[in-house]
Amino acid sequence: MLPISVIIPAFNEAGNIEESLRSIPRDPRLERIVVDGGSSDDTVRRAEPLADRILVTNAGRARQMNAGAAVARGEILLFLHADSRLPAGIPDDLIRTLEDPEVAGGAFCLAIDSPRIALRLIAACTNLRARLTRVPYGDQGIFVRKSIFDRLGGFPDQPLMEDLEFARRLKRAGRVVLLPKFVRTLSRRWDREGLVFVTLRNRIFVLLYFLGVSPARLARRYDPIR
């Protein structure tokens, strides 16, 4: 087995997939898996020269990430969104972190690729929340021991909040670490839909989810770039 498998779920990400893959270091300890959800653009063609393996599944981020994990050869799984970029030094950081048997997994700090002060504040609040709760979001680059991922049954097959639900389960399986390096994600959602609208919607939907509203019901009113 390899130490680390980086799994990228993608859907119509032709404009971003190459940069995302290039952020993964060329290291023999890493494999790069792209799981396409049936894109109608050139996502697969652009990923082919840079990925070690490409799968095509039905769309659905949870379904795609689980499919990638099923074929991964790594002892550590790192899930990276197609509009996110990894920091340098990944292999050593993850291997060193998971040498502690009490650590089940973790994530990175979030940086939003924008000079806007408001978006920097949103990222800072996200990182503070993750430090306090040890429940990171998917765009922070969640990583986990494969053995624990399998034991938890992977990501729940739901159309929304799959990352939040998995992180909550991961926290119960062991210690969750927030590494002091930044995954950089694009600001496109805030740029497209508006900073105030996206921020309030996300907070309200998380609250509704915790209050028991089903992910299917929430997904009907939520249209992120997924």
User: What tokens does 143 get?
Assistant: 């990583």
Per-residue model confidence as pLDDT tens for the chain (226 residues): 689 999 999 999 999 999 999 999 999 999 999 999 999 999 999 999 999 999 999 999 999 999 999 999 999 999 999 999 999 999 999 999 999 999 999 999 999 999 999 999 999 999 999 999 999 999 999 999 999 999 999 999 999 999 999 999 999 999 999 999 999 999 999 999 999 999 999 999 999 999 999 999 998 887 654 4
Structural domain total, the chain: 1
Flag whether 132 is in a domain: yes
Could you tell me which of 151, 148, 149, 131 has the C-alpha nearest to residue 140?
A: 131
Whether residue 115 lies inside any domain: the answer is yes
Cβ contact 108:182 at 8 Å: yes
The rounded distance, in Å, linking the Cα atoms of 219 and 70 is 26
Is residue 35 within a helix (H) or strand (E), and if so which, with residue range?
strand 30-36
Give the tokens for residue 209: 């989810």
91 found inside a domain: yes
| pLDDT at res. 225 | 42
pLDDT confidence of residue 222:
77
**Cβ atoms < 10 Å from Cβ of 143:** 31
Contact between 110 and 123 (Cβ < 8 Å)? yes
Domain for residue 77, yes or no? yes
Count Cβ atoms below 10 Å from residue 224 Cβ, excluding itself: 14
- Structural tokens at position 203: 């907070």
- The range of the structural domain enclosing residue 127 comes to 2-219
Per-residue pLDDT at 1: 63
Model pLDDT, residue 41: 97
> In the sheet that 84-85 helps form, which strands lie side by side, from edge to edge?
53-56, 30-36, 2-10, 74-79, 143-145, 103-113, 175-186, 84-85
| Any domain includes 184 | yes
The span from the CA of 14 to the CA of 166, in Å, is 27
SS3 label, residue 134: coil
Residue closest to 133 by CA, chosen among 95, 102, 160, 106:
106
**CATH classification of the domain holding 87:** 3.90.550.10
In a domain, 226, yes or no: no
Q: How confident is the model at residue 62, as a pLDDT?
A: 97
Q: How far is CA 189 from CA 18, 53, 91, in A?
A: 19, 28, 29
User: Has residue 225 been placed in a domain?
Assistant: no
Rg over alpha carbons for the chain, rounded to the nearest Å, is 16
Cβ atoms of 222 and 158 closer than 8 Å: no
